[in-house]
Amino acid sequence: MDRRKFCRTALAASVAAAIPLLPGCERKAPVATDAVTSVRGISLEGAELELERAAIRELGESLTGPVLLSNHAEYDNARKIWNGMHDRRPALIARCMNTEDVGNAVTFARERGLLTAVRGGGHSWPGKSVCDDGLMIDLSLMNTVAADPEAQRAHARGGALLNALDSAALEYGLITTAGVVSHTGVGGFTLGGGMGRLNRKYGLAIDNLRSAEIITADGVVRRVSEEQEPDLFWALRGGGGNFGVVTEFEFALHPFERKLFSGNIVWPVAQARDVLEFYGEWYLGLSDEMYVGPAMATGADGAGVILMEVVYNGDPAAGEKELEPLRKIGKPIDDTVAMQDYMIMQTQEDVAFGHGVRSYIKNGMVSEFTQGLVDMMIESFTNDPRLAMFTHTLGGAAKRVGELDTAFPHRNAETMVGVGGGWMDPADDESGIALSREWYYKLEPFMGGYYDNIDFDGDKAAGNYGPAYPRLSKIKAQYDPGNLFRLNSNIIPAA
């Protein structure tokens, strides 16, 4: 149908009401199709580029969604990502509505060697989902999730958030592993491995991934799975955003009772030794149904605390019995573990990690919860309300997948330990980062590798992926030989 004719249809009118920037229809603010001058850009190697007016207009006309220029009223809002520490200004923002839009944006960037960032949920801790002077491929409008209760599958589009994934599945009494902050994007979370409160029972998110639709650097749309292009599917499961833009994820779902035995137990930090020394032995015998891990933080009153987050995915009576020994340790000042809706736990971190917070974090994987680690956790504790140390318990089903069965490199880890914090005042950046690093580096000798999804400085991909790296590098060379997708924990294409 002719574009002008399309804009006159009732359907187009309704779409334009929701998204008034549809290229080719009437608009109140300038988008790419209105470009009157060339735009300064930056190449993959950092050289200055001129993005010509005609090329910008052509990109705008090729997309269903708008391509925003810096003088557009929505530009500043669109370029913002979750971590308020990052204030970057792309030359162009392609707000994609469908797979074809993504393919056209990828082709535009590849043909010009233009620095490219991919924004799903915008939760990249180091800010790699936005860039200065390059192209931001924005998937945030592609954000729906559909659950199929008969097939026990969920199909999440590339810009969907974890809250939408949880909610769509729970509607049918089903679930899959999702992360611990509900406004995180499904895409980045999954591609990095996908650790969540149910990973001991159901495995990581990548262990539940059944297929994906991806646009690789050549602009080709590929449906990948164990049967279709299995090497690329292997690489996606833990290799991050190195291989293309994933526009749809298909997950396996599992029967689930959304009201479950869960909550938090809190002790004064003075009791940390009793709690951690007990936990260091007790957790090794936990069932797959039990997820429990320690954190240390400073409360609003300035008092240090140690807490345990608990989620038991099974018979509540069995959960109470399994948790009972931990509840007998020391004298808790609070214990909220009871039968409650799963989404209470899934959203309890949303405010602390709310949009706009300025946040820095480092983490490392731990293969054994040793006495030395316990001692250093206590010694290194920093009494500062901006900072915290936390863990994410692995083991169980996540550990029973072979080390090289997926690209995720940390199957033998028992837990992840993270140190970091959040604040709102830019004046706190220097001291907050310095104190976070000081705390982390005291714990680092007990770690090996890091979880890329939540590390501010995670840029040592070769060492982190270990024996998986050579294969990842070869697959990268096959699907992205020019390293277009480099704003990530980057895998260098094999020569």
Tell me: the pLDDT tens digits for 94-135? Answer: 999 999 999 999 999 999 999 999 999 999 999 999 999 999
Q: Is there a single domain that holds both residue 323 and residue 424?
A: yes
Q: What is the pLDDT of residue 269?
A: 98
206 and 243 share one domain: yes
Q: How far apart are CA 426 and CA 25, in angstroms?
A: 41
Same domain (yes/no): 182, 292 = no
- Which of these, 195, 59, 176, lies nearest to 114 by C-alpha position? 59
Average pLDDT over every residue of 73-95: 97
| Whether residue 264 has pLDDT greater than 90 | yes
Beta-bridge mates of residue 272: none
Convert the pLDDT of each residue in 438-453 to its tens digit.
Answer: 999 999 999 999 999 9
Domain of 165, in residue numbers: 145-255
Residue 11 clears pLDDT 50, i.e. is over it: no
Helix (H, G, I), strand (E, B) or coil at 312: strand
User: Can you say how many angstroms the Cα of residue 18 is from the centroid of all Cα atoms in its chain?
Assistant: 27
Segment 354-376 mean pLDDT: 97
| DSSP assigned state of 456 | T
Mean predicted confidence (pLDDT) in 385-394 = 97
Is residue 475 a part of any domain in this protein? no
Does 479 reside within a domain? no
Q: Is the pLDDT of residue 5 over 60?
A: no
* Nearest-angstrom CA–CA distance, 383 and 373: 18
Q: pLDDT tens-digit profile of 209-230?
A: 999 999 999 999 999 999 999 9
Greater confidence (487 vs 18) lies with 487
Task: Report how far residue 287's alpha carbon sits from residue 312's, in angstroms, rounded to the nearest whole number.
Answer: 9
Structure confidence at residue 27 as a pLDDT band (50, 70, 90): very low
Give the pLDDT of residue 6: 32
170 & 316 share domain: no
Q: What is the pLDDT of residue 43?
A: 98
Share of the chain above pLDDT 90, in %: 91
Interval 454-466: pLDDT, tens: 999 877 888 999 9
Number of domains comprising the chain: 3
Q: What is the C-alpha to C-alpha distance for residues 41 and 23, in angstroms, rounded to an integer?
A: 22
Mean pLDDT, rounded, for 68-87? 96
Length of the chain as a residue count: 495
Same domain, 95 and 217: no
CA gap 145, 171 in Å, rounded: 12
109 and 197 housed in the same domain: no
Residue 470 resides in a domain? no
Which pLDDT does position 26 carry in this prediction? 41
Query: Residue 248 maps to which CATH number?
Result: 3.30.465.10
Mean pLDDT along residues 366-385: 97
**Are both 196 and 118 inside the same structural domain?**
no
Asked whether the predicted pLDDT for residue 19 surpasses 80, the reply is no
Pick the closest to residue 120 from 26, 196, 191, 24 (CA basis). 191
Residue 101 in any domain: the answer is yes
Q: What is the pLDDT of residue 491?
A: 96
Look at residues 208, 238, 255 and tell me which one is the last residue of a structural domain: 255
Which residues make Cβ contacts (< 8 Å) with residue 315, sequence separation at least 6?
Answer: none
98 with 199, same domain: the answer is no
Residues 158 and 79 in one domain: no
- pLDDT for 31 equals 72
Evaluate whether residue 490 is within a structural domain.
no
Q: pLDDT band for position 30 (50/70/90)?
A: low
Distance CA 421, CA 488 (A): 21
Q: Where are the beta strands (DSSP E) in 143-274?
A: 145-148, 153-157, 174-175, 209-215, 221-225, 245-252, 254-255, 259-268
Mean pLDDT, the chain, as a whole number? 93
The answer to whether the CB of 120 falls within 8 A of the CB of 184 is: no
Whether this model's pTM surpasses 0.75: yes
- Residue-wise pLDDT tens digits, 134-193: 999 999 999 999 999 999 999 999 999 999 999 999 999 999 999 999 999 999 999 999
Of 218, 238, 255, which marks where a domain is finished? 255
Q: Are residues 241 and 284 in the same domain?
A: no
User: What pLDDT score does 18 carry?
Assistant: 34
Based on the fold, state whether residues 302 and 449 are members of the same structural domain. yes
- Domain match, 242 and 271 both: no
Q: What is the mean pLDDT of residues 305-313?
A: 98
Q: What is the pLDDT of residue 37?
A: 79
Burial class of 219 by CB neighbour count within 10 A (0 to 12, 13 to 18, 19+): middle
- pLDDT above 70: percentage of residues in the chain: 93
* Final residue of a structural domain among 109, 138, 167: 138
